[in-house]
Chains A and B, each alone.
Chain A
Amino acid sequence: MIKRRDIRWTPFLTLFQREIQRFVKVIVQTVVTPFVSSTLYLMIFGVSLGSQIVLQDGVPYLAFLIPGLVMMGCLNNAFQNSSSSIISSKFSGDLEDLKAAPFSPSQIIWSLSLAALVRGLVVGTVTFLVGQCCYYFMYGDFMSIAAPLVLFSFLVLGGLCFANLGITVAFWARTFDQMSAVSGFILMPLIYLGGVFFSVDHLPGFWRQISLFNPLLYMINGVRFGLLGKSDVDPMTALAVSLLAFLITLGLALNSLRRGSFQRW
């Protein structure tokens, strides 16, 4: 006979653990590949091209680039983790098990999104360490972190946003094409145009106005403020926008869970 049953924490922790174990089992795809791509970005843009570029206030381009890449890695991987977990469960059919089990919608959302955040943070950290190596190689010293708590808060908020978006899109998607269309045509452009590689101050007036509507601009610059102590956007504004984005994506994810499909493909 079962002595103890806890439906508040055990289901949540179990699903969280399952999600972590899943990405650890495919570590090459989930951590090594992002490691390789961020190394390439750093070598090409940061070290070789970037050595020609000097920004205002004497910040080396490499130092400008590193926070952008850290955040990009974190966001991308958080999105990938929650969405691919759900999509692969749709293929195998075990997503239906989640529906049949006594989960509350927020238990499902939080276990999936926190596990996705963990992967985002791992990739962000790996990117940061590679960045530090490049920085040391160029300037003979390591970068210091200006405001660790700010850095961490923006990584967490951004990672959770993208994890929730991954959940939303994956529940909503009815084919694999819809899934990749959203990440390729909407999210990637938003990330790239959010100021990972360049400062929006350099954009002509009209485009600058447009990019101010991109929430990614605020998240990426929040991370940049955390690392460098300065950024294109006021950090309080960035925090407000990121918090709002988090609440909206949480609502979207909860809604997708209620309305979306658990059915197998």
Chain B
Amino acid sequence: MSQSNTPALSIENVVKNYGPVQALQGVSFDVKKGEVFGLLGPNGAGKTSLISIIVTLEKATHGRARVFGHDVSTHPREAKLNLGWVSQEIINSGFFDVEEILKFHAGYYGVSERADRIEYILKGLSLWEHRKKKVKQLSGGMKRRLMIAKALVHEPGLLLLDEPTAGVDVELRMKLWDFVEELKGKGLSILLTTHYLEEAERLCDRVAIIHKGQIRAIGGTRMLIEEWSRKKVTLRLTEPVQSLMHPDLVKGSGQEWVFLTAMTKTLGELLQELKLNSAHLNDVKVDEGSLEDVFMRLTQEGKA
């Protein structure tokens, strides 16, 4: 089919205009095989627009999207065969039960022997006991899991998850994450959008932060946190001091002082710069930076 170094998904300079609205302004990135890639951005950033282009619901104004090397606009059927898609909006098909829906969906992708697969997926998504229910008898969280089941039933190579855990409760979200990790273990590549940064931090190998249709940062999840976020260091001193001079100082007086420093700066370096030593310290508290900090920094900048 395709060489081993072909990315699962390749997005090249994609532009999408809806009339005067520029939803995507030249977005490029790759999702490598077996990778979980997070696309993070505030409401209206263009995440769903990009996914709609990949599944051919929308046409890109410029640029190309390729799935395992197949261009979605010139070879849509080859591209779509390798795709599983979970839309952001909940789908409510009224006539059929969960099992029937999954059988039909597998058939759409040319798969007719599917009982084992359906059982495996329904169990993995805790839907097995609901398999005879119609969609309208399911709760919101179950509907979302049904949509994930649909996207997986034909064993796609690339899964597109547009906010898969919106409206799913905490316990089930954990289960879902485990399931996603299990799938990843089997070699599935995943593009995921989410507003839960904890989810991205836990699941994603790499993330891109998109804002107003442009990618603001892209890289390994850990690396982005180190590069873009600050850690919060709170120093409690043995004796009150009048003032401390340091560019990273945020606030403080007397015995307690708070700094926001680069993730790479060690405590020793900070103390040295402040001309303090451990004898002056009563206590130190360090809050590691998180993806949330990165996200806030990159998406607030544009507003300033």
Contact A14 B107 (CB under 8 A): yes
Contact B57 A262 (CB under 8 A): yes
Contact B89 A264 (CB under 8 A): yes
Contact B91 A100 (CB under 8 A): no
Contact B80 A10 (CB under 8 A): no
* B110 CB–A CB distance under 8 Å: yes
Q: How many residues of B contact A (CB 8 A)?
A: 36
* B104 CB–A CB distance under 8 Å: yes
B95: which A residues are within 8 A, CB to CB? 21-22, 25-26
Write the chain B residue with the least CB distance to A96.
Answer: B57
CB distance from A113 to the nearest CB of B (A): 17
Contact A10 B107 (CB under 8 A): yes
Looking at the complex, which one of A1, A5, A18 makes contact with B109 (CB distance below 8 Å)?
A5
A263: which B residues are within 8 A, CB to CB? 57
A25: which B residues are within 8 A, CB to CB? 95-96
Contact B110 A5 (CB under 8 A): yes
Contact A92 B85 (CB under 8 A): no
Of the stretches A55-63, A101-109, A195-203, A213-221, the one at the interface is A101-109
Contact A6 B110 (CB under 8 A): yes
Write the chain B residue with the least CB distance to A24.
Answer: B95
Contact B87 A7 (CB under 8 A): no
* A177 CB–B CB distance under 8 Å: no
CA distance A262 to B150 in the complex (A): 18
CB distance from A104 to the nearest CB of B (A): 7
Contact with A along B87-125 (1 / 0, CB 8 A): 101111111100010011111111111000100000000
B172: which A residues are within 8 A, CB to CB? none
Contact with B along A92-122 (1 / 0, CB 8 A): 1110111111111000000000000000000
Write the chain A residue with the least CB distance to B136.
Answer: A92
Contact A102 B77 (CB under 8 A): yes
Indicate the member of A92, A104, A264 with the most B CB atoms within 10 Å.
Answer: A92
A7: which B residues are within 8 A, CB to CB? 77, 81, 109-110
* B61 CB–A CB distance under 8 Å: no
* A229 CB–B CB distance under 8 Å: no
Contact A94 B108 (CB under 8 A): no
CB distance from A163 to the nearest CB of B (A): 19
Contact B80 A102 (CB under 8 A): yes
* A50 CB–B CB distance under 8 Å: no
Contact B110 A100 (CB under 8 A): no
CB distance from B222 to the nearest CB of A (A): 33
Write the chain B residue with the least CB distance to A91.
Answer: B92
* A132 CB–B CB distance under 8 Å: no
* B76 CB–A CB distance under 8 Å: yes
Contact with A along B66-83 (1 / 0, CB 8 A): 000000000011101101
A15: which B residues are within 8 A, CB to CB? 104, 107-108
CA distance A2 to B106 in the complex (A): 11
* B232 CB–A CB distance under 8 Å: no
Q: Which residues of A in the span 1-47 have a Cβ within 8 Å of any Cβ on B?
A: 1-7, 10-11, 13-15, 17-18, 21-22, 25-26
Looking at the complex, which one of B55, B104, B113 makes contact with A100 (CB distance below 8 Å)?
B55
A14: which B residues are within 8 A, CB to CB? 103-104, 106-108, 112
Write the chain B residue with the least CB distance to A100.
Answer: B55
CA distance A101 to B83 in the complex (A): 8
Contact B107 A98 (CB under 8 A): no
Contact A98 B108 (CB under 8 A): yes
Given A2-B117, A88-B94, A102-B76, check contact A97 B108 (CB 8 Å).
yes
CB distance from B88 to the nearest CB of A (A): 11
B155: which A residues are within 8 A, CB to CB? 1-2
Contact B108 A93 (CB under 8 A): no
* B154 CB–A CB distance under 8 Å: yes
Looking at the complex, which one of B94, B105, B112, B117 makes contact with A97 (CB distance below 8 Å)?
B105
* A89 CB–B CB distance under 8 Å: yes
Given A2-B154, A92-B93, A94-B91, check contact A103 B55 (CB 8 Å).
no
Contact A11 B107 (CB under 8 A): yes
Contact B92 A100 (CB under 8 A): no
Contact B154 A97 (CB under 8 A): no
Write the chain B residue with the least CB distance to A85.
Answer: B95
Looking at the complex, which one of B90, B94, B109, B112 makes contact with A101 (CB distance below 8 Å)?
B109
* B56 CB–A CB distance under 8 Å: yes
Write the chain B residue with the least CB distance to A11.
Answer: B108
Per CB-CB distance, the 7 closest pairs between chain A and chain B, nearest first, are A14-B107, A7-B110, A101-B108, A102-B80, A93-B91, A100-B55, A102-B77
Other than A6-B110, A101-B105, give 13 A-B pairs with Cβ distance below 8 A.
A14-B103, A14-B112, A15-B104, A15-B107, A17-B104, A92-B94, A92-B135, A94-B92, A101-B109, A102-B80, A102-B81, A102-B109, A263-B57
What are some 11 contacts across the A-B interface (CB < 8 A)? Answer: A6-B112, A13-B107, A17-B104, A21-B95, A22-B96, A92-B92, A96-B57, A97-B108, A100-B57, A102-B76, A102-B78
